[in-house]
Amino acid sequence: MNRAFNFSAGPAVLPTEVLQATSQAVLDYNGLGMSIMEMSHRSKEYEAVIKEAQADALKIMNLSPEEYYVLFLGGGASLQFYMLPFNFLKNKANYINTGVWATKAIKEAEKVGTVKVIASSKDTNFNYIPKDYQIDTDADYLHITTNNTIYGTEWKTDPENVPIPLVADMSSDMFAIRRDFSKYDLIYAGAQKNIGPAGVTMVVIKKSFIEKRRQLDNYPSMLDYKLHMENDSMFNTPPCLPIYVVGQTFKWILKNGLEQIEANNIKKAGILYDFMDASNGYYKPTVKAKEDRSLMNVCFNLETPELEAKFIADAKATHNMTNLKGHRSVGGVRASIYNACPIEWVETLIKFMEDFQKKN
């Protein structure tokens, strides 16, 4: 199969072997004579699929199933923007604003209760990760967004000495780098960046945290984390096929090892940023502070929007490099190089960028 160089920010590139396993399962799952999409979610065969995916997620994160629970839900991270505060915002919540998705999370939380933004990088168009902030010890939780897909920043290290429950939206860099996941009380991640296709969201909850949720009276049942936990992610019919693909991706991550995946991501992003830094300003990374540059979403500009448009068109025409256009809200160019993006793709992109600079 002649694959395109897919630099999409999401839905994004998946490992080839995961696609191959899925293509077979779509036709005939394990010789059962039916597709994974046709199986009852109540069957013992599908129960094994979801249970294995849950167990593998905790294995990757080095978390105990005695302390943490994995949910697979619908609605994307956008539903979690509201579902999280709906369950846990009693007094007030602390948020750190690092971009568009953090801003959306804040707006949804404000519909539930009091939100205090304790730090923000909005002052410079979200091109850095705030380092100086004071956490309110009486807040119900602190929320961060670990990777900024639109502006290209990333929390490379976990916040230290957080005196309240720590919550994170890890949608776009889940399992891209090693983290101390035990520092977090709740993590949510839309799958369509690094761990699977669109249609399912993973939520990892510390069991002791769920007991702190607020009293929910006359509430929509679908918004209750505890109800979903008690029903093993099957309060309603789950997104069966996406969960299967996520489970296969977890197998791929376990086989390669999170340490090696992190090393690959550091190398891919490093050679691309280094090339641009050495281009005498021809290619301009939007994030100047190297420690804050995203390993997943490399955002940059050329001299003019017209030159950027030519760059994107030429990349598609000459090398079938797709989805290099920056987010519609900021423009520019963006190369999303998630876990499954081979280093050869990045090397080919750099070679194209070198030739384009010479010709233009």
- Checking if the pLDDT of 216 tops 90, the result is no
Closest alpha carbon to 18 in 241, 179, 269, 199: 241
Domain spans of the chain? 16-256, 257-359
Active-site choice (101, 155, 252, 345): 101
At 152-196, the pLDDT tens digits run 999 999 999 999 999 999 999 999 999 999 999 999 999 999 999
CA-based max dimension of the chain:
65
- Percent of the chain at pLDDT above 70? 100
pLDDT of residue 56: 98
Query: Token digits for 285?
Result: 């990374």
- pTM score, two decimals? 0.96
Is residue 319 within 8 A of residue 6, CB to CB? The reply is no
Residues 51-54: contacts with CB within 8 Å, 24+ apart?
52/247, 53/243, 53/244, 53/246, 53/247, 53/250, 54/233
Is residue 353 within 8 A of residue 275, CB to CB? The reply is yes
Sign of CA dihedral 297, 303, 308, 310: negative
**Same fold yes or no, 16-256 and 257-359:** no
At 187-199, the pLDDT tens digits run 999 999 999 999 9
Q: Is 255 a catalytic residue?
A: no
Report the CATH fold assignment for 257-359.
Aspartate Aminotransferase, domain 1 (3.90.1150)
d(CA 57, CA 51): 10
pLDDT of residue 148: 95
Is residue 211 within 8 A of residue 224, CB to CB? The reply is no
Mean pLDDT of the chain: 95
Active-site choice (185, 193, 224, 345): 193
At 4-35, the pLDDT tens digits run 999 999 999 999 999 999 999 999 999 999 99
At 77-97, the pLDDT tens digits run 999 999 999 999 999 999 999
At 231-241, the pLDDT tens digits run 988 889 899 99
Which residue blocks in 257-302 are alpha helix, DSSP H?
258-277
Report the CATH fold assignment for 16-256.
Aspartate Aminotransferase; domain 2 (3.40.640)
Average the pLDDT over 256-266 and give the result.
98
- Checking if the pLDDT of 217 tops 80, the result is no
Is residue 91 within 8 A of residue 281, CB to CB? The reply is no
At 39-52, the pLDDT tens digits run 999 999 999 999 99
Q: Is 193 a catalytic residue?
A: yes
Q: Is 169 a catalytic residue?
A: yes
Active-site choice (56, 140, 169, 185): 169
Average the pLDDT over 206-217 and give the result.
88
